[in-house]
């Protein structure tokens, strides 16, 4: 492989600024990699290669004129962008067929911030329909495959983003997460992803976007191949804009300053509902052992309230303000999901089966107000329990998913598996997804590191150590 494809974004920026590499060389290397891998995985759905080349030439000219000083932190570094983020001149459909011709006329806040930091977007990446499923598949772009095995899911809704990062086509990208949409794809594709504390990074300029309290369930954050990029990217993204976001003063502290001997690590083996595979448990054990060897205090605990993860998250989403999911599917006019299911069986629907199923679930929730009330109360209790458990230097190691990446279509059969990630959106806690080796089939394994609210630096610090101890990202054979 071209060694530029193995570097972190911050390393690439340093090389460009010091003239040990040019932005043109770095951008061209990643464009070539996208062209190599994308026919196999369908991750990048629209490219801007020519614009990126022009921006790279301009970046190199600026290095020459400035002699490498005063340049922004990501100067000349390529990246990818999830298609649901506004990126000027590019389609911004959110995977909804009715929006197939929508072109962004303004950059989303997160996109504007990474571009102001010097990054150069080379393309947009695939999503699930309306960004609400763990398979990146829709009726505009089709399905994304996993670079470690294209017959397996790349996850969703940031599946294209994590797949192209895992395939070495981008050093980092922008994702969003309302139920696991950064962490699941990062896990399935063997890279790092961070779901920030609720409200730390603005979601402005995305389609679809949450409303009300769900706007803090939804978080924008980085997906990257190297853990050292997580905090620099989060610092670039964080802070309110005119429409969204709040300030968490402790969130952006330096993770390099964390002494692991001060850290308590709580190992939680599962939620008590869906059992976790032996491979996933072994990866969690390996991570715990690595932290213990570094001086952390490690113990295994049970958190009973996690067994209510699915109804807690579903109730929180259902009570949020804004259009219903069925209204979103119908571009403002609610569809009848049962009728749409009939059209789907006749191959006449422009919606995916998971989206139709979520519409049906929404209708059923309307019929069960008692369940919603009880689940909301359970959520309040779990949040209080986690706030009490997560002391300032405490993290939880928790499975990201019960198994490594399943084959396509399989996630719809046990949809509750995604609750291993979604519950932490409802809790508004920061979570870093960390790759921890591979299973016997060469498919990535990993673990979630959950931190206290407003202290994002802590799970990122743990992720940095686990990368060194357990190996981090390993490029798939497809990428080599």
Question: Residue 407 gets which letter from DSSP?
Answer: B
Measured between alpha carbons, how far is 67 from 65 in angstroms, rounded to an integer?
6
Dihedral sign for Cα atoms in the order 66, 67, 73, 77: positive
User: Is residue 79 within a helix (H) or strand (E), and if so which, with residue range?
Assistant: strand 78-82
CA 132 vs CA 288, 303, 418, 467: distances in Å: 32, 27, 11, 29
Cβ atoms < 10 Å from Cβ of 65: 7
- Measure the CA angle with vertex 179, ends 178 and 184; round to 5°: 115
Specify whether the CB–CB gap between 421 and 179 falls below 8 A: yes
Q: How far is CA 45 from CA 169, 300, 418, 439, in A?
A: 13, 43, 25, 29
Distances (CA, A) of 304 to 81, 118, 289, 400: 38, 46, 24, 17
8 A C-beta contact, residue 448 and residue 276? no
End-to-end CA distance of the chain: 5
Task: Sort residue 208 into left (φ over 0), alpha (ψ -120 to 50) or beta.
Answer: beta
Q: Active-site positions?
A: 82, 157, 181
Q: Would you state the structure tokens that stand for residue 244, as one six-digit string?
A: 């969204």
**With contact defined as beta carbons under 8 Å apart, do 161 and 38 qualify?**
no
Phi and psi at residue 137, to the nearest 5°: -150, 135
Q: Where are the beta strands (DSSP E) in 31-171?
A: 44-47, 78-82, 120-125, 137-138, 142-143, 145-146, 149-153
- Cα–Cα dist 6/223, whole Å: 15
* CA neighbor of 71 nearest in space, from 61, 57, 81, 79: 61
**Helices within 294-335 (DSSP H only):** 309-318, 325-329
Kindly provide the b/e burial profile for residues 163-194, where b requires at least 16 CB atoms within 10 angstroms of the residue's own CB: bbbbbbbbbbbbbbbbbbbbbbbbbbbbbbbb
3-state secondary structure of 187: helix
Please tell me what DSSP assigns to residue 416: G
């Amino acid at each position: 492989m071209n060694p530029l494809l193995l570097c972190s974004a911050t390393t690439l920026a340093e090389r460009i600024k010091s003239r040990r590499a040019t932005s043109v060389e770095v951008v061209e290397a990643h464009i070539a990699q996208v062209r190599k891998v994308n026919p196999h995985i369908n991750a990048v759905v629209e490219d801007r290669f020519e614009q990126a080349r022009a921006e790279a030439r301009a970046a190199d000219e600026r290095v020459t004129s400035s002699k490498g000083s005063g340049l922004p932190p990501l100067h000349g570094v390529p990246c990818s962008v999830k298609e649901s983020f506004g990126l000027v001149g590019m389609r911004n459909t959110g995977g909804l067929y009715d929006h197939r011709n929508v072109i962004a006329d303004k950059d989303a806040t997160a996109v504007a911030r990474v571009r102001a930091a010097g990054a150069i977007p080379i393309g947009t990446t695939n999503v699930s329909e309306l960004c609400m499923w763990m398979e990146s598949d829709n009726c505009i772009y089709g399905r994304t495959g996993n670079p470690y095995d294209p017959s397996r899911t790349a996850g969703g809704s940031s599946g294209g983003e994590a797949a192209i990062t895992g395939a070495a086509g981008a050093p980092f990208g922008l994702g969003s997460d309302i139920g696991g949409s950064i962490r699941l794809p990062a896990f399935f594709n063997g890279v790092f992803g961070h779901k920030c504390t609720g409200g730390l990074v603005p979601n402005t300029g995305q389609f679809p976007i949450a409303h009300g309290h769900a706007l803090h369930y939804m978080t924008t954050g980085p997906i990257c191949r190297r853990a050292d990029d997580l905090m620099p990217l989060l610092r670039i993204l964080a802070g309110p804009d005119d429409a969204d976001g709040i300030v968490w003063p402790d969130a952006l502290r330096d993770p390099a300053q964390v002494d692991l001997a001060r850290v308590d690590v709580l190992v939680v083996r599962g939620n008590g509902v869906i059992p976790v595979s032996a491979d996933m448990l072994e990866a969690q054990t390996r991570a715990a052992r690595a932290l213990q060897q570094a001086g952390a205090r490690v113990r295994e605990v049970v958190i009973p309230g996690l067994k209510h993860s699915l109804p807690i998250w579903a109730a929180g989403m259902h009570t949020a303000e804004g259009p219903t999911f069925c209204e979103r599917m119908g571009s403002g006019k609610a569809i009848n999901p049962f009728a749409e299911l009939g059209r789907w069986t006749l191959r006449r629907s422009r919606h995916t089966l998971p989206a139709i199923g979520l519409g049906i679930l929404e209708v059923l929730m309307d019929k069960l107000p008692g369940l919603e009330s009880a689940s909301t109360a359970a959520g309040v209790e779990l949040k209080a329990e986690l706030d009490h458990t997560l002391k300032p230097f405490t993290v939880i190691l928790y499975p990201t998913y019960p198994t490594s990446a399943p084959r396509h279509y399989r996630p719809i059969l046990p949809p509750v598996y995604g609750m291993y990630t979604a519950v932490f959106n409802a809790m508004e806690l920061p979570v870093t997804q960390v790759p921890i080796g591979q299973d016997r089939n060469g498919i990535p394994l990993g673990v979630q590191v959950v931190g206290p609210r407003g202290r994002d630096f802590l799970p990122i610090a743990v992720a940095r150590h686990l990368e060194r101890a357990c190996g981090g990202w390993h490029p798939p054979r497809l990428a080599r």
